[in-house]
Amino acid sequence: MKNKILVINGSVSPIEKSFSVALTNLFIEEYKKIDPQAEYIHLDLNNEEMAHKTLTRDNMATYFNENDTFKYINQLKEVNKVIIGCPMNNFNVTGLVKNYLEHVLLANETFSYKYSKKGEAIGLLKDLKVQILTTQGAPFGWYLFGNHTEFLKGTWEFMGAKVNSPVLFAGTKIAPVDKQNPNEAVLQVKDEIIKAAKEF
């Protein structure tokens, strides 16, 4: 059976200037060497209305609707792998990714408290394998209170997915990386990418 891979772009940078897009492209390039048959579905959250919608008191009753929630949950159930590229924005994932997750984290669809031991949820996306590819302007460790990579790992695991070792490309706003072409800059973590692609 062919692998079906959903590639989520959660960056708000122009495509050609985005380090997380470059990281994603490098990962796919390496993964294709191992699995040339895989099919890809590209989901750029900039182009998805649902990722622009924040949950509020006024839209709470209609937020989890067919077009904004079930379409995307079904998409997650129709693929067996997800690659998600996401930069840090103000110490967390981008608003686009937060809105996406807000829509797909739905009880009894992607996780359940039914039949679980006290206080523990059961993830329902058991067949999914996820590769997290993150970036941040600052080097890792400048502010450990903000860790979008761990946030994403924990969130996908909560939904039952098996999460591969994430690859973080940190320090994109620091010289000389800030002046480099993203496609060249991400080659610094090529070994990590190759290792992750082999395990994906």
Ligand X SMILES: Cc1cc2nc3c(=O)[nH]c(=O)nc-3n(C[C@H](O)[C@H](O)[C@H](O)COP(=O)(O)O)c2cc1C
Smallest distance, Å, CB 140 to ligand X?
9
Is residue 89 part of the contact set for ligand X (CB under 6 A)? yes
Strands 129-136 and 81-87: parallel
Q: Which of 25, 136, 147, 164 binds ligand X (CB under 6 A)?
A: 136
Cβ density class 132-158: b for 16+ within 10 Å, e for less: bbbbbbeeeeeeeebbbbebbbebbee
Smallest distance, Å, CB 41 to ligand X?
20
Q: Contact region for ligand X (CB under 6 A) — 63-71, 74-82, 120-128, 136-144?
A: 136-144
**What one-letter code names the amino acid at 55?**
L
Is residue 88 part of the contact set for ligand X (CB under 6 A)? yes
**Quick check: helix, strand or coil at residue 165?**
coil
User: DSSP string spanning 117-156?
Assistant: PTT--EES-TT-EEEEEEEESSPTTS-TT--HHHHHHHHH
Site for ligand X in 161-180 (CB under 6 A): 172-173
Q: Contact region for ligand X (CB under 6 A) — 12-20, 39-47, 59-67, 101-109?
A: 12-20
Query: Which residues bind to ligand X, rule: CB under 6 A?
Result: 11, 13, 18-20, 87-91, 135-138, 146, 172-173
